[in-house]
Amino acid sequence: MTIEYLTSINEIIMTLPSGLLSPTILERLLSTVQGCLTEYFERLQSREETRLSEDYDAEYEEALADEDDTDEEVSGELSRVIHAVFKNLGPAFLPYFQQMIPRLGDFVVKQRWNRIPHSSNHRYSERIQSLPCNGFYVSSMI
């Protein structure tokens, strides 16, 4: 899904009167957001595997860094869409948001993981797995 598409969804939701989003639209939106997060994780994992491969070099890193930047923009826009829906519906969005919590928990964990320097001795891996996230420990999500 493109950043422009997510931006359009965000702008539409922001212009709608409060409470106008129907349960059908919310289910579709939830499916779209979760699909975007799934695609995000697949791309993230693919880049991580590339970085760990034997053929990895500085040329690959430049391309992967561009992909990282694009995914960062997508994740920011996803965040704005979720914020817009919360703002529009208030507490009525909570049941839908609760369905998203497991995937969003994964998202938060992966964001933290990407900001920690990687090391061949996995010193940081042990540290990240001990971080709590919404009452669950990261090791149960990885």
- Say whether pLDDT at 139 is over 50: no
> What percentage of the chain exceeds 70 in pLDDT?
73
Please tell me the total count of domains within the chain. Answer: 1
Q: Is 22 helix (H, G, I), strand (E, B) or coil?
A: coil
The Cα 34–Cα 30 span in angstroms is 6
- Say whether pLDDT at 72 is over 50: yes
Q: Answer positive or negative: Cα dihedral of 131, 140, 69, 99.
A: negative
Residue 102's domain comprises 3-140
The tokens describing 120, both together, are 């061949």
- Say whether pLDDT at 113 is over 90: no
Residue carrying the six token digits 């799934």: 38
Q: Which residue has the higher pLDDT, 101 or 110?
A: 101
Segment 95-105, tens digit of pLDDT: 888 888 887 77
